[in-house]
Amino acid sequence: MEGALTARDRVGVQDFVLLDSFTSDESFLDNLRKRFKENLIYTYIGTLLVSVNPYKDFGLYTQNQMELYHGVNFFELPPHIYAIADNAYRVMCTERNNHFILISGESGAGKTETSKKILQYLAMVCPTTQKLQVVRDRLLLSNPVLEAFGNAKTVHNDNSSRFGKYMDIQFDYKDAPAGGHILSYLIEKSRVVHQNQGERNFHIFYQLLEGADDKLMSWLGLERNSQKYSYLIQGRCAKVSSIDDKNNWKTVRKAFSVIDFSEADFEHLFGIIASVLHLGNIQFSEDNHGRAIITDGSQIRWISKLLGVPLSILQEALTHRKIEARSEELLTPLDVELSYYARDAVAKAIYGRTFNWLVNKINGSLANKDPPKTNVIGLLDIYGFEVLETNSFEQFCINYCNEKLQQLFIEMTLKAEQEEYEMEGIEWEPVQFFNNKIICDLVEQKHKGIISIMDEECLRPGEATDLSFLAKLEEKVGDHPHFLTRKLADQAARKTIDWVDFRLIHYAGEVTYCAVGFLEKNNDLLYRNLKEVLIKSKNYILRDCFHSSELDNRKRPETVTTQFKHSLASLIEILMAKEPAYIRCIKPNSAKQPGKFDDVLVQHQVKYLGLMEHLRVRRAGFAYRRKYELFLQRYKALCPDTWPHWRGPPEKGVERLVKYVGYKPEEYKMGRTKLFIRFPRTLFATVDAFEV
């Protein structure tokens, strides 16, 4: 019929590899847009899944859907995160190996939702017993607790993860989930004391004030009004219509009992959370000598009670600084500004460490009590690449982390794939791609990288400033192609960079960082007498978090970025030892609205997520590969020449078999040790299609 659209015209193709036309940026975008308009948010590039955040629920994650995807061949159903999860699970069961699913994309693209849905899927479809039901509940309910303490409303996302999370789901020998383990990365604790316009503090504070019963509120000395707390209103949006703090509190409260929290744990934990709120309301004024004094003693009395520390010592610690000089201890009074600094430093320190304590505690409850543990599927959900109006130390760390993950992706897919063709002697036209290793090196290289330069400056307390740090950067990495200083930027007639800024050209775009506060945040020091107070606290969570060994001046603690660098390096090691699956999440618009597809925004993400390069490698390459011996072993029954035995060299048998089942010469290639098939038919596209 004239003018009628074919289904393909209307809904696009479900695997980009199947796009007929030359794969231009436009045709890629076009396919994504068509599908999005039809509520088809998932599309494959081979085995990689691209997901576009729909910002609405249209029944994609029902029990029926879960059952539909369970145990079904990857290519037989429309693309879905359940297909990715199911595939990882099935390969794990058959091949007895470990897997990870890396979910990436910028803030608000849907990573956390995806990781939660996958966890639900794995928990629901796997076999369970009564005992395992407990494990399942704990795995699922660890999420609301961690989100309450680790997520916050930002300008990009009403539920933005402000920490990185890697979770291993452990399976027993019967392939049922038997436990879990969470690694968390760098919680953004500066948010505890400061939020940008339109942003909130961590959800838990608002949930507590909205949801806690009167008894708890009066025990904590809190008022049911977030407007009363200085730490909660800096972003001027304590109330958000899309967030139901009261209801979320109920979920969190229930989750605590499931994940093994005693009443005492609960009280001590919320004693700390309430103390943070009280701390934020402490005001200082100046006495006649210019020294800080606490204006009103009521907050500090509450803190003293809740944290179990003597009032006078706490008071002294917030207004004085203890310095050790030649085995003597000197107590010097602080001015008002430094007292505020000390106050905020305690609030950040106790929140940050309590968060880590919480993760450990949850790990205790998720621990697989019946080893031997068998295989795992790891889920990685890390804060997305972030560009704000003003980008600070936190964005620098977040974006560095994203560089590392992009590097892993390149290593494990683009590079590994092309190297394999070379190794196997397959004729191959190399696909060009941008390798961001150069940016990772710029940040983390020993002695020469930005982190080392920052650490060096942190070793010169009293002398180094954010400006001297900038000057050092200029001197040492000033001519790096991915680094721009003010001078260079002006020369290139780019947008001017302020005198305290530096700019990095990340794989995902340029980001201008304001260097103010970098050294201080990297050092992350807490005055000695404040540490002493916390170490002696009667609150056992705090005592777990602060140890007397920290008072030893001879040991210099690692800086924040160096610690982060090491934990990322070990994460990469953990991932490299597993079989990968990738989900790339895309944010369709900045307004967080359903149905809106912003071409420019999506195009930008397609570009930096490296999707076109991935597609080109996939299209030019071979979706299926398998060692000759294994292939023959598995499929020899399909050809009378190879069944029941093939006596010659395996590759000859494989060739005979492949021809017999009807593959044309251009459809496959024989490598040194493996058979490669360009687009496998469902016959071979069973679980092992994933094997690289």
The residues assigned a catalytic role are: 107-108, 112, 157, 160-161, 384, 386
Residues that contact Mg ion, how many (by CB under 5 A): 3
Query: CB neighbours of 670 closer than 8 A, spacing ≥ 6?
Result: 651, 654, 655, 676
CB of residue 111 to ligand ATP, shortest distance in Å? 3
Q: Smaller CB distance to Mg ion: residue 103 or 545? A: 103
How far apart are the C-alpha atoms of 323 and 19, rounded to whole Å?
A: 68
Out of 12, 180, 384, 610, name the contact with ligand ATP by CB under 6 A.
384
Q: Choose which of 98, 142, 160, 392 interacts with ligand ATP (CB under 6 A).
A: 160
User: Quick one: which of 161, 195, 201, 413 contacts Mg ion (CB under 5 A)?
Assistant: 161
How far is the C-alpha of 245 from the C-alpha of 687, rounded, in Å? 43
- Nearest distance from C-beta of residue 60 to ligand ATP, angstroms: 7
Rounded to whole angstroms, how far apart are CA atoms 14 and 71?
Answer: 20
Query: Considering beta carbons, is residue 121 or 483 the nearer one to ligand ATP?
Result: 121
Q: How many CA atoms lie within 13 A of 390 on its CB side?
A: 10
**Which of 195/485 has CB closer to Mg ion?**
195
Quick one: which of 98, 112, 354, 605 contacts ligand ATP (CB under 6 A)?
Answer: 112
- Write each residue from 96 to 115 as x if it is in contact with Mg ion (CB under 5 A), else as -, in one continuous string: ---------------xx---
Task: Count Cβ atoms within 10 A of the Cβ of residue 53 and give its class: 0-12 exposed, 13-18 middle, 19 or more buried.
Answer: buried
* 105 contacts: CB under 8 Å, gap ≥ 6: 51, 111, 384, 584, 585, 586, 587, 605, 609
157 touches ligand ATP (CB under 6 A):
yes
Nearer of residues 398 and 617 to ligand ATP, judged by Cβ: 398
- Our finding on whether 105 is near ligand ATP (CB under 6 A) is yes
DSSP state of 513: E
Identify which of 46, 87, 61, 104 has the alpha carbon closest to the alpha carbon of residue 585. Answer: 104
Query: Collapsing DSSP states into helix, strand and coil, what is residue 524?
Result: coil
**Could you please report the per-residue DSSP string of 457-500?**
HHTSTTT--HHHHHHHHHHHHTT-TTEE-HHHHHHTT-S---TT
The pairing of strands 99-104 and 376-381 is: parallel
Task: State the nearest-atom distance from the C-beta of 86 to ligand ATP, in Å.
Answer: 17
Contact (Cβ atoms closer than 8 angstroms) between residue 171 and residue 377: yes
Residue 53, binding choice from ligand ATP, Mg ion, none, Cβ under 5 to 8 Å by partner class: ligand ATP
Q: Which does 395 bind (CB under 5 to 8 A by kind): Mg ion, ligand ATP, none?
A: none
Residues 319 and 295: beta-carbon distance below 8 Å: no
Of how many residues is the chain composed?
Answer: 692
The CA-based dihedral angle spanning residues 441, 442, 443, 445, taken in that order and rounded to the nearest 10 degrees: 50
Residues 566-585 that bind ligand ATP (CB under 6 A): 585
- Give me 10's structure tokens: 């209307």
DSSP class of 72: -
Give the nearest distance from C-beta 200 to ligand ATP in angstroms. Answer: 13
- Residue 54 near ligand ATP by CB under 6 A: yes
Reported as type and span, the H/E element at residue 501 is strand 501-506
Residue 108 contacts which entry, Mg ion, ligand ATP, none (Cβ below 5-8 A, type-dependent): ligand ATP
* CB of 240 or CB of 338, closer to ligand ATP: 240
- Strands 624-627, 674-677: pairing is antiparallel
* Part of the chain binding ligand ATP (CB under 6 A), chosen from 47-55, 65-73, 136-144, 302-310: 47-55
For position 517 contacting ligand ATP by CB under 6 A, the verdict is no
Q: How far is CA 461 from CA 72, 454, 465, 519, 525, in A?
A: 61, 12, 8, 9, 11
Counting contacts by CB under 5 A, is residue 53 touching Mg ion?
no
**In the bound complex, what is the minimum distance in angstroms from residue 429's beta carbon to ligand ATP?**
35
Total residues contacting ligand ATP by CB under 6 A comes to 22
Stretch that binds ligand ATP, among 55-63, 244-252, 344-352, 356-364 (CB under 6 A): 55-63
Q: How far is the CB of 490 from Mg ion (least distance, A)?
A: 37
From 52-60, 166-174, 483-491, 636-644, give the range in contact with ligand ATP by CB under 6 A: 52-60
Residue among 162 and 625 whose Cβ is closer to Mg ion: 162
Q: Tell me: does residue 55 bind ligand ATP (CB under 6 A).
A: yes
The whole-angstrom separation of Cα 407 and Cα 404 is: 5
Number of Cβ atoms within 10 Å of the Cβ of 669: 20
CA diameter of the chain: 101
Site residues for Mg ion per CB under 5 A: 111-112, 161
Site residues for ligand ATP per CB under 6 A: 53-57, 105, 107-113, 156-161, 383-384, 585
